[in-house]
Structure formats: structure tokens, C-alpha cells
Amino acid sequence: MMMVFKTVDTRGLSFFNALNLATKAFKEVKVDGMLELIMDKKKDFTDAFKQWASSKGHKVSDGSGVDDALIRLFIKKVSRSKANCSGM
């Protein structure tokens, strides 16, 4: 079942484990849907996840700190055709 919104909590994970979890979850999100990543502020993978999402042509919001301990990052899934058109 494809979802419009999915949240993945990566706190306490290494970057590679967090990336694997996010990649699997992102496959379950519909086009124009949103993946929310929750990350440790002390292990800030924001830039790495922004780069990963942008390399796939998806839209990334600025990470927002909810409190002193975590960061939320939102990635909007864009269809391949939309991603290719915006790259021209």
C-alpha cells in the first residue's frame, strides 16, 4: 500500500543504517507524498540526506529543530518525469 506521508525515526542509527531505512520507506511513499526523517541533533545527517534526495530529483525542506535533541527533515517525492523536466 502506497502512503502519502511516512515518518522514519533514525535516531541512534549510523548514517548507513539510517539511509537504508529511509530508502526502503521512501519506496512506500506515493509521488507528491512526503517522507519525514527524524534525526539526532548530535548526529546531524541533514546535509547528507539533502544531497541524497536532491540527487534523485526530490524536493527537500529545510531541517527544523523541534527541540535541542532532534531534527526533522521533510522530503517530497517527485516523479522521474517532473525531476527530469526541472533539470533542463
Domain count, the chain: 1
Q: How far apart are CA 83 and CA 58, in angstroms?
A: 7
pLDDT digits (tens, 9 = 90+) for 60-78: 987 666 677 789 999 999 9
Task: State the residue range of the domain holding 8.
Answer: 3-81
Q: What CATH number is associated with residue 60? A: 3.30.110.40
pTM of the entire predicted model: 0.82
CB 8 within 8 A of CB 29: no
In a domain, 86, yes or no: no
> Is 88 inside a domain boundary?
no
What is the predicted pLDDT for the residue at 59?
Answer: 94
Is 13 contained in some domain? yes
Task: Give, in order, the Cα–Cα distances in Å from 37 to each of 44, 48, 88.
Answer: 11, 12, 29
User: Is residue 47 included in any domain, yes or no?
Assistant: yes
